[in-house]
Structure 1
Amino acid sequence: MSFWGKIIGGFTGFLTGGPIGALVGAAMGHAADTGAGRLGDPAQLAAMLGTREQLFAVGVVVLSAKLAKCDGPVKRVEIDAFKRQFRIPPENMGEVAKLFDSAREDAQGYEHFADRMGHAFADRREMLEDVLAALFSIARADGPLTNGEVAFLQRVQLGFGLDAPAWTRARDSTSQKPRPMPTGPDPYQVLGIAPGATDDEARATWRRLVRENHPDAVASRGGGADMVRRAADKVAEINAAWDRIKRDRKL
C-alpha cells in the first residue's frame, strides 16, 4: 500500500462526502476568490479547512510544495519525490497539481498548516510522524539537507507537537513501509515498572527515561560519540517498550 493509501486506509471515513479531489477543489475555489489563482492568505485558508479530512488533504500538499521551495527553485526531482510519497489517484492529480503550483510560489505561510494539523491530529501522532518522514524524503530528493530545509522541518515538528524521538525516527526513516511488530524484552522491565502500574505512571516513567537518556542530553553532559550512539539505542528501546504497552492497553 502506498504511503497515502496507508494513511487514508487507517483513517475510517476519510473520504466520506466525496473524493479527495473535491476537498482540494474547495481550497482551489477559495484560492481563486482571493487572488487570480494564487493560494491566497495561508492563515485564512488553513482556518477555512474545518474538517480533519480537508485539512489533511490540503495540508500535505501545501507543506510539500513550500518545503521544496524553501531552498530555491522547485526541482523536478522534488516534485517526483512528492508524488512517490503521497500517491494521489490519477483522476485527482489535476487539482493537486494546481494547488501544489500555487503553494510553491513562495515558502511562506506553511506554519499555519503545521499548527492546525498538529492540533487536529493530536490523537494521531504516529500519522503526523509519517508525514514528517515523507517531508524528509522530499527535502533529500535534490541532495543533502540545507539549513533552510532543516529549519522548515523543525518548525513542522513543533507545529505537529512531535517530540525529539519522533524527529529522529522520521529523519532516519528510509522507507514508508509499515513498522514491523515490535519484539524484544519485557516492556515493563525495560521501563522498570510493574505490570500493574497505572497508565499515568507508565507514561510518566517513559517520558522521564526518554528525557534522561536522549542523545542530546548525553552529549550536553560531555558524553562521547560512543555514549551518544548507545543513548540513541537506549531511547529506541524505551520507545519500543512504551509502544507495546500502549498497544496492549489500547491507549
Structure 2
Amino acid sequence: MSIWQSIFSGAAQIFGPPATVCQEGRAGPIDQTGLVVALVALGAKMAKADGQVRIEDIHAFQQVFQPQPSSETQVAKFFDLARQTTLGFERYAKIVAKYFRAKPAALEDVMDGLFHIALADGIVTEEEHAYLERVGEIFGFSDREYDRIRSSNLGVSPKNPYLILGVDEDISDKDLKRAYRRMAAANHPDRLIARGAPRELMGLANHKMAVINRAYADIMALRAGKPLKGRGLPRAS
C-alpha cells in the first residue's frame, strides 16, 4: 500500500472545520487524519490561490490526492470548505513539513502535486507563485532547491543547467556524474510511484526525468565547448 493510500485509508472520519483541526504547535506526533486534513487543505487552498477555483483545478486535485472510497465523501466535503479561502494555508504547510521532516523526497512530491494543481489552467499567476514559494519555504527548501523544483515543473530550460542538478559550476566531472545519478534515481518514475504518488502523475515524473537528463547533457556539452541549441522543454502535461 502506498503512502497516500495508507494515509487516506486511515482517515475515514469526518474532519471538521479547518479552525478546529490540526492545531499548530500541538503536542505529540501528527496522526494520519491530521496529515490528510493538512494535505487536502493545502491542495484546496492552492486551487483558490488565484482567486477562483475552476473545474480544471478540481480535476487536478483529484489526480494528485486520491482518497480511498471510504473517505472520498469526507475529503470532498473538507475540500469544499477549505477552498473558500487561502487563509490558514501556512499552518497546514507546517503540519505537512513536520510529518515528513525526515523525508524530503515526500515533501518534494507534495510540491510537485501543488504545481500540478497550479498549472491546471495552463498558467501560474503571481498569486500562485507566491503561495508555492511560501510553502516551499515552510517545507525547508533552500532558494536553490526551490528554483530547481520550480524549473522542473514549469518546463523551462534554465540558463544555468547546474541548478537542476543542485550542484556548483566548479564541481568535478566525477562528482557531477554522481550527483546526476543520485538525482535521476530519486526522481525516477518507478521511485515516485513507490513513494505513493498517483499513477496519473507519471507524465510529470517522466517530464522531470527529461529535465534532469537534459541538464546533465547540457553541462557535458558546455564542458566540451559545444553550443546548446534550442534547449527549451515543453511543460509537463
TM-score, structure 1 as length reference:
0.58
Question: Per-residue deviation at 1:92?
Answer: 1.7
Question: Per-residue deviation at 1:113?
Answer: 1.2
The aligned residue for residue 121 of structure 1 is 100
1:33-70 superposed Cα distances (whole Å, 9 cap, x missing partner)? xxxxxx32677378489524233211110001111112
> Closer, same or farther in 2 for the Cα pair 1:169/1:234, shift >3 Å?
closer
The aligned residue for residue 33 of structure 2 is 54
**Which whole-Å CA distance do the structure 1 matches of 2:67 and 2:22 have between them?**
25
CA contact (8 A) 2:4 2:66 kept: no
The aligned residue for residue 87 of structure 1 is 66
Question: Per-residue deviation at 1:125?
Answer: 0.6
**Which whole-Å CA distance do the structure 2 matches of 1:141 and 1:72 have between them?**
14
CA contact (8 A) 2:43 2:61 kept: yes
**Which whole-Å CA distance do the structure 2 matches of 1:42 and 1:154 have between them?**
24
Larger Cα-atom Rg: 1
RMSD: 3.4
**Which whole-Å CA distance do the structure 2 matches of 1:102 and 1:234 have between them?**
39
Matches within 5 A, 1:87-236: 87-173=66-152, 228-232=159-163, 235=166
CA contact (8 A) 1:129 1:167 kept: no
**Which whole-Å CA distance do the structure 2 matches of 1:19 and 1:6 have between them?**
10
**Which whole-Å CA distance do the structure 1 matches of 2:59 and 2:128 have between them?**
17
**Which whole-Å CA distance do the structure 2 matches of 1:21 and 1:52 have between them?**
9
**Which stretches in structure 2 are left out of the alignment for 5+ residues?**
168-175, 187-237
1:82-120 superposed Cα distances (whole Å, 9 cap, x missing partner)? 001112223321000010011011111000111222123
CA contact (8 A) 1:133 1:173 kept: no
**Which stretches in structure 1 are left out of the alignment for 5+ residues?**
32-38, 175-224, 247-251
Aligned residues: 175
TM-score, structure 2 as length reference:
0.61
The amino acid of 1:19's aligned partner reads S
The aligned residue for residue 7 of structure 1 is 3
**Which whole-Å CA distance do the structure 1 matches of 2:28 and 2:89 have between them?**
14
Matches within 5 A, 1:22-37: 22=12, 25=14, 27-28=15-16, 31=17
More relative contact order in 1 or in 2 (CA 8 Å, sep 6+)? 2
